[in-house]
Amino acid sequence: AQSVTQLGSHVSVSEGALVLLRCNYSSSVPPYLFWYVQYPNQGLQLLLKYTTGATLVKGINGFEAEFKKSETSFHLTKPSAHMSDAAEYFCAVMTDTGGFKTIFGAGTRLFVKA
C-alpha cells in the first residue's frame, strides 16, 4: 500500500528566502507523485507531477520538485518565497496498481513573513 509523509505541519520563511517542503513516500511499484496547493477557501490546485522520465519536475509559480528513488523523496522547492505563496501544500502518491486512488499527505502550511 502507498503512503505519504510530509515532515513539518508548518513551515515559516521570510520573503525572498528558499522554500523547502519535505515529502517522503512509500510504494512498492513505480509511483506517480504530485504536489497540490490549497489557498484559503479555494479548491486544491495541481502544482506539479512526476510520472516518468526526468526526475526534476518544474511546476507553476516557480516551484520544482525532485524525485529521488533511493531516498523515496519528492521534496518541493522554490528559490525565493513570495507573500502569495502562503498556503497549504499537499504531497500525494498514486500507482497504476493501486487502483488509481490518490493518497495525500497531511499537508504543510507555509507562512511567508515580510
Partner 1 sequence: DTGVSQDPRHKITKRGQNVTFRCDPISEHNRLYWYRQTLGQGPEFLTYFQNEAQLEKSRLLSDRFSAERPKGSFSTLEIQRTEQGDSAMYLCASSLADGGRTGDEQFFGPGTRLTVL
Interface residues toward partner 1, by CB under 8 A: 4, 9, 32, 34, 36, 42-46, 49-52, 90, 92, 94, 96, 99-107
Which is closer to partner 1, CB of 18 or CB of 60? 60
- Three cell numbers written together for 99: 487502483
- Three cell numbers written together for 27: 510504494
Any bridge partners for residue 45, and if so which? 37
Any bridge partners for residue 77, and if so which? 20, 64
Which is closer to partner 1, CB of 15 or CB of 104? 104
Which is closer to partner 1, CB of 45 or CB of 80? 45
Instruction: Give the shortest CB-73-to-partner 1 separation in angstroms.
Output: 17
Instruction: Give the shortest CB-88-to-partner 1 separation in angstroms.
Output: 9
Cα–Cα distance between 92 and 106 in angstroms, integer?
9
Cα–Cα distance between 61 and 30 in angstroms, integer?
27
